[in-house]
Amino acid sequence: MTRLSVNINKIATLRNTRQGNIPNVKLAAINCEEFGAEGITVHPRPDERHIRYSDVRDLRPIITTEFNIEGYPNRSLLDLVLEVKPNQMTLVPDAHDAITSNAGWDTITYKDLLTDVVAELKEAGIRVSLFVGADVTMVEGASLIGADRIELYTEPFASAFPFNPDQAIAPFILAAKRAEELNLGVNAGHDLSLQNLKFFNQSIPNLLEVSIGHALIADALYMGLELTILKYKECLR
């Protein structure tokens, strides 16, 4: 069964609209795990507009499943990751002012940068995943860099899925197959939802983990967090 990692950034976004600690990010993480999530994902950005660096430090001791930190590998974030030692870091090529992730790495152009970062993280015992598009060349580049996994950027799939699911999934199947041939683990994330997740999961047999935040937290507003996590996990069976 593919593992579900819940991205709790949106919980922090809501908290940050007011002073205080409502909703409580730590409690949200604990509840996600109690309700069946196999991991917690956070994506701290330099302006700390949602997850703060202090949140990352507070979360580390209480997470009992897998802790995944996403982000662009600037020195401040790398130092934080090396301090708290999550199970996995997912390197994402976000600009500092990006609203959300909107592209995967060009693993050819940024090979030297990423090779050094990946080596530093792996030396500290942290599994490293590279956020890439469904492009075989970029997958091959991730292997040459020394990554342990890739995370497929699934927004193009999600956008095309309502119109032609088979066409939407085709490049992701090719990318995942190439990753398997290169002994790269395959994760996925971005705009996966209850509408498209089951099809994606059934089409990618070597999928290890999905990271889902926006759609899951939005669904939880209507259905409650426990039932929502259950429904997402049902899509992954």
Query: Which one of the listed residues 33, 66, 190, 209 is annotated catalytic?
Result: 190
Query: Which one of the listed residues 43, 50, 151, 209 is annotated catalytic?
Result: 43
Q: Does residue 83 have an active-site annotation? A: no
Please name the residue ranges forming H helices in the chain.
9-15, 25-34, 53-59, 75-84, 111-123, 136-145, 155-160, 165-181, 197-203, 214-223, 225-235
H/E segment holding residue 227: helix 225-235
Q: How far is CA 186 from CA 28, 51, 205, in A?
A: 26, 25, 10
- DSSP one-letter string for 50-64: SS-HHHHHHHTTT--
* End-to-end Cα distance, the chain: 5
d(Cα 164, Cα 142) in Å, to the nearest integer?
A: 29
Q: Does residue 66 have an active-site annotation? A: no
Inter-residue contact 218 to 187 (CB < 8 Å): no
Q: Does residue 43 have an active-site annotation? A: yes
Q: If DSSP codes are grouped into helix, strand and coil, which group holds residue 126?
A: coil
Closest CA to 192 of 172, 222, 177, 167: 172
Query: Which one of the listed residues 70, 140, 151, 209 is annotated catalytic?
Result: 70
Catalytic residues: 43, 70, 190
